Structure 1
Amino acid sequence: MILSSNQLGCSEEILTISAVLSVQSIWVAGRGVRKEFDEAKMCFAAAEGDHATFLNVYKGFLESAKSSNWYYKNYINYHAMKKVIEIREQLQRIAQRLDIDLKSCEGNLQAVRKAVTAGFFANA
Structure 2
Amino acid sequence: MGKVEYTATSAAAGVEQAFRMLEGRWKLVILFHLFGGKLLRFSDLERAIPGISQKMLIQQLRQMESDGIVRRIVHHQVPPKVEYGLTEWGQTLCPALDAILGWAEQRPEQDAGG
Which TM-score bucket, shorter chain as reference?
0.3 to 0.5
More helix by share: 1
Q: Under a length normalisation based on structure 2, what TM-score does the superposition of the two structures give? A: 0.35
Which one has more relative contact order, counting CA pairs under 8 Å at least 6 apart?
Answer: 1
Larger Rg belongs to: 2
